[in-house]
Amino acid sequence: MAEVVDVRARVLAANEEAAAELRRGFGAAGTLVVNLISSPGSGKTTLLEATVAALAGRLRLGGIEGDIATERDAERLRRLAIPAVQILTGGACHLDARQVRKAVDEAHFPALDLLFVENVGNLICPTAYDLGEDFKVVLLSVTEGDDKPFKYPGIFARAGVAVISKIDLLPHVSFDLDAVRSQILSLNPSATLLLTSARSGEGIGAWCALLEARARAKRKAPF
């Protein structure tokens, strides 16, 4: 058991070193980096598509997509004319900073205002891994149920922004929005909570306004 703990400690230490290197580079470039975490099917890529459409011409955007297999998500972003690279984990349930560093080095992204890192669909494993991001965003779709924040407290406690997605489906599912809001804020009182529907467009403006404000602040911040 002691050996397993030691190996995990070394892995996390190496990850922290790579994340710090990434953070310095993103800071020097003035690039805001957002780490998107959720269960599979919550609508991360669909939210990104709506975001890219809304921010086209206003911010320089890029994407890193993490999946076990296929390049489908990166291809969806490329069709919207933004640079995107795919990281295939081959079975691993999360991205780590060394994978992101390698992807950034190989992608040769142009100057970016905002880089999205869409993590592997999972509410547990990605939580512990710093990717050099400015903040984590956790997505929870109304179709997943209203018990998830307390069942998966780690990510809801660490994410600076919580997005409730697919709210156009609220009339058709059993989902106690007030209970979810209470759970999230009890785990992270400083979290920003947003309600969105990529299908109807509801809440996309507020989400994009948050990203624009933080991207402007990042460009002005010293590094």
> Can you identify the CATH homologous superfamily of domain 2-220?
P-loop containing nucleotide triphosphate hydrolases (3.40.50.300)
Question: What are the extents of the domains in the chain?
Answer: 2-220
Q: 119-153, pLDDT tens digit by residue?
A: 999 999 999 999 999 999 999 999 999 999 999 99
Non-local (6+) Cβ contacts of 153 within 8 A are: 187
Alpha carbon separation from 187 to 119, 130, 151 (Å, rounded) = 22, 19, 11
Q: 59-117, pLDDT tens digit by residue?
A: 999 999 999 999 999 999 999 999 999 999 999 999 999 999 999 999 999 999 999 99
Enter the tokens of residue 167.
């709210």
Q: How confident is the model at residue 2 (pLDDT cuts 50, 70, 90)?
A: low
The secondary structure of 74-138 as a DSSP string is HHHHHTTT--EEEEE-TT-SS--HHHHHHHHHHHT----SEEEEE--S-SSGGGG---S-SEEEE
Residue 138 · residue 184 · CB < 8 Å: no
